[in-house]
Amino acid sequence: MIQAPKGTFDVLPDDAGRRELLERNARRILQGAGYQRIETPTFEATELFARGVGEATDIVQKEMYTFDDGGGRSLTLRPEGTAPVCRAYIEHGMHKLPQPVKLWYLSSFFRAEAPQRGRYRQFWQVGAEAIGSAAPEVDAELIVLLAELLEAMSVKGTQLSLASLGTPETRAEYRDELTAYLRDHERQLSADVRNRIDMNPMRAFDSSDPSTREVMKGAPKLLDRLSSEDAEHFAQVRLLLDDAGIAYDLDPTLVRGLDYYTRTVFEFSSDALGAQSGVGGGGRYDRLMELLDGPPTPGCGWAAGIERILLSAGELPVQADVVDLFVALAGADLGRTGFSLAGDARRAGLNAQLELAGRSLRGQLKHADRIRARYVAIVGEEGTSLKNMESGDQLELSPNEVIPTILRGSRLS
């Protein structure tokens, strides 16, 4: 038997309702705030992610599905959505539009990670990006919108971590300071952290090694080194979140796995999830456009994992599709009459299904009951009888009276 590749999954019809609900909520909340849908290609030039996500990140180092397209070009299945959206912004000259350009997406992404609950190799994210404004209101609004989405999906036990990474200059100075500190304590650090001191010293804060953690308690914190402009921006974001009644924890060690962030970074987690507790996160990326050869343009955004949201969601009001009419066939040669009745019903705006399995009439009525059809039209040699499945009433009708009768019934109910 051929099975789906490790770390991937099928979205079966039983799961589809909850996913549709999530998409509807995302559309309502994000489009309501002026975000417009964008979809970018599933694969991009590898260079986009190497530059845009950062050579030193785990994603680029070891998690990308990269392949040669046969013509000597290196392509990569998208591991995240921000770099592609920024590429599209530059490619389509969106800087000429009123700023900020506010976009949202819901797409699948690919990372060669070790699969476990809540971590897959193909997964789905809903994301929002606001490009072209450095205002702290943008950061705060994006956080509020993600909080609203998680609330609409009844995500349980959420917690918001917030930090600021400052500007690239502050980070460079801080990086030197932190690197020197790590070098001073080199012997107490895990081999993994030690080997990456120069490559990515911030990752030392992520280590689960006890001795490294002890060293990191005394390490200098970036939040204490922010320039006055960055500190002011961050204070403003916090004020707006306080006004909006959004609770958060300041996490001076919040390190997101992507290199492009500047200033605000944030992450929502849920205690309803296991080890993979991150539900969604993002931040400001004021330098990313330049890394991609675009004009200097500030931006801010987030992405949230669809599967993680659904794993941590409570009961959801998922509604089954209504079946207005099931067309049953009372004889062998009535397929054509039934087929055109179902077609007419659909053109009249009804949800109609036709018997397709050659069941006995009894079996057909049972099936109509199972799919909760409101009406069954039993097409016979002599005429059609229409059964109201709720009341049990049955009427003998000529074929052209079936649809008007249901429509009248619809209007009455």
Contact residues: ligand AMP, CB under 6 A: 80, 111, 113, 118-120, 123, 125, 256-257, 278-281, 303-305, 307-308
Q: By C-beta, is 52 or 305 nearer to ligand AMP? A: 305
CB of 41 to ligand AMP, least distance (A): 18
CB of 258 to ligand AMP, least distance (A): 7
- Give the residue with the Cβ less far from ligand AMP, 158 or 170: 158
Nearest Cα to Cα of residue 354 among 342, 372, 367 = 342
Distance of closest approach, residue 153 Cβ to ligand AMP, in angstroms: 12
**Minimum distance, C-beta of residue 376 to ligand AMP, in the bound complex (Å):** 43
Backbone angles phi, psi at 408, to 5 degrees: -65, -45
19/225 with CB nearer ligand AMP: 19
Q: Which of 135, 134, 146 is nearest to 33 (CA)?
A: 146
State the nearest-atom distance from the C-beta of 77 to ligand AMP, in Å.
12
**CB-nearer residue toward ligand AMP: 76 or 337:** 76
For the CB of residue 391, give the shortest distance to ligand AMP in the complex, in Å. Answer: 48
Select 86 or 368, whichever has its Cβ closest to ligand AMP: 86
- Minimum CB distance to ligand AMP smaller for 121 or for 374: 121
Q: Which residue is nearest to ligand AMP (CB)?
A: 305
Please give the Cα distance from 172 to 74 (Å, whole number). 31
